Amino acid sequence: MAIRTEEQLSAFIQETVRSTPVTDIHTHLFAESFGDLLLWGIDELLTYHYLIAEMFRFRPDLPYETFWSMTKQQQADLIWQTLFIENSPYSEACRGVVTVLSRLGLDLSTRDLNEYRKYFEQFSSSEYIDRILSLSGVRSVAMTNDPFDAYERARWEEGAGQNDSRFLTALRIDPLLNGWDQAYLTLQQQGYQVAQDFSGDTIQEVRRFLQDWIGRIDPLYMAVSLPDDFAYPEASVRGRVIDECILPVAREAGIPFALMIGVKRQVNPSLKYAGDSLGRSDIGAVERIVSRNQDVKFLITMLSRENQHELAVTARKNRNLLVFGCWWFLNNPSLIEEMTRMRLELLGGSVIPQHSDCRILDQLIYKWDHSREIIAKVLCDKYGDLFRAGWRLEEEEIQRDIAGLLGGAFWNFLGKPDPAAV
């Protein structure tokens, strides 16, 4: 059906963005069969590392060790008191908790954390997964599957990961690229004949390791996060692992290599896993890796705001590069809007505007609610421009485009149908 007025256009866009199911291409969530790796509930929400970092800013006298020696519930109490009671929770990470509590139907006027805790006790993990996926309108999520994690490896050996098609797999291989001096030992323990100095069969054995894990978990892609000083090509262990192991395996398996570039790990180790930061990276490295390996597909996101424009332009020049998400410190409304606007202007619908990076299941609600609102706002402007220029749209065309942005473009890029699509 054709859209006749601008008001009708905006209302239709907003409703379609709100109701179109999402494929969330990068999260740290897990299916129920992965046991303790699946995090959900109020105490997990409050102890999200984004909030830990924010809490310490308001408690200059709190020794780091005091916080780390507390139980999770005590940590959550302190974060609630600091960020929600003694201050107003308008930072994006705090607002996220408010959105979640509100959409779960909890009474925000009480601000009673113990009351909220009771609410979560009524659900089993499996009921809660159903509830959150339904409330957030997320159809499927990609996990971050780490073959270097002993607990996760044990779950795979028990057959985890095979019975819930809403949880997709992604092979995460950071230690191979960022910590070879330890990683080679883990590979040896898993039966691969690798040497620290790369002698002998090391290259073939690293490839065999990757191929075995691809065979075991059938990942959508292989992924790594990289520091801000990532260089390519490079005469280093990382350079060799990329060129001689990962790229040949990605090429042969026909799966993309996902690069998340720009992390400065542990700038403040006292903050533990909340202590990472970011830096601007060299777009030249991205240009070279994608253009010299045109028969490999690359999913790329960068962490620095300053890299966003050049990354989008690099994607214009290389169809084997699909830009995705507003990652981590970019996942704030002002930056999501700026980036989404710029990307749609440069790339049309050949982009994945957002991923959630959720670590806690409940966060799917806020990360997608907040992003959908911004994506809809930008689309209203873009379709509005077309409308005022005289271009008339059918509802089906808008539905097609939005389905692309929220998942279809990803599946097209992979060259696979969305298994969860009905």
Interface positions, 254-273, toward ligand REL (CB under 6 A): 260
The answer to whether 174 contacts Zn ion (rule: CB under 5 A) is no
- What minimum distance in Å lies between the beta carbon of 303 and ligand REL? 9
**Cis status, amide bond into 175, omega within 30 of 0:** no
CB 410 within 8 A of CB 23: yes
d(CA 198, CA 201): 8
- What minimum distance in Å lies between the beta carbon of 359 and ligand REL? 5
Shorter beta-carbon distance to ligand REL: residue 242 or 260: 260
Residues facing residue 264 across a β-bridge: 277
Interface positions, 356-385, toward Zn ion (CB under 5 A): 357
311-344: burial string, b at 16+ Cβ within 10 Å, e else: bbebbeebeebbbbbbbbbbbbeebbbbbbbebb
Task: Please return the burial class of 362, using the count of CB atoms within 10 Å of its CB with bins 0-12, 13-18 and 19+.
Answer: buried
- How distant, in Å, are the alpha carbons of 68, 120, 221 from that of 357? 24, 22, 16
The answer to whether 146 contacts Zn ion (rule: CB under 5 A) is no
Which of 328, 366, 383, 410 is close enough to bind ligand REL by CB under 6 A?
Answer: 328
Q: Which amino acid is at 263?
A: V
Q: Which does 359 bind (CB under 5 to 8 A by kind): ligand REL, Zn ion, none?
A: ligand REL
Count, residues near Zn ion per rule CB under 5 A: 1
Shorter beta-carbon distance to ligand REL: residue 230 or 328: 328
Interface positions, 338-357, toward Zn ion (CB under 5 A): 357
- What minimum distance in Å lies between the beta carbon of 355 and ligand REL? 9
Q: Which does 187 bind (CB under 5 to 8 A by kind): ligand REL, Zn ion, none?
A: none
Using CA atoms of 383, 355, 25, 276 in order, give the dihedral in degrees to the nearest 10. Answer: 150
The answer to whether 225 contacts ligand REL (rule: CB under 6 A) is yes
Count, residues near ligand REL per rule CB under 6 A: 5
- What minimum distance in Å lies between the beta carbon of 304 and ligand REL? 14
> Could you tell me the end-to-end alpha-carbon distance of the chain, in angstroms, rounded to an integer?
22
Which of 359, 373, 412, 420 is close enough to bind ligand REL by CB under 6 A?
Answer: 359
The answer to whether 95 contacts ligand REL (rule: CB under 6 A) is no
d(CA 193, CA 340): 46
Give residues in contact with Zn ion (CB under 5 A): 357
Give residues in contact with ligand REL (CB under 6 A): 225, 260, 328, 357, 359
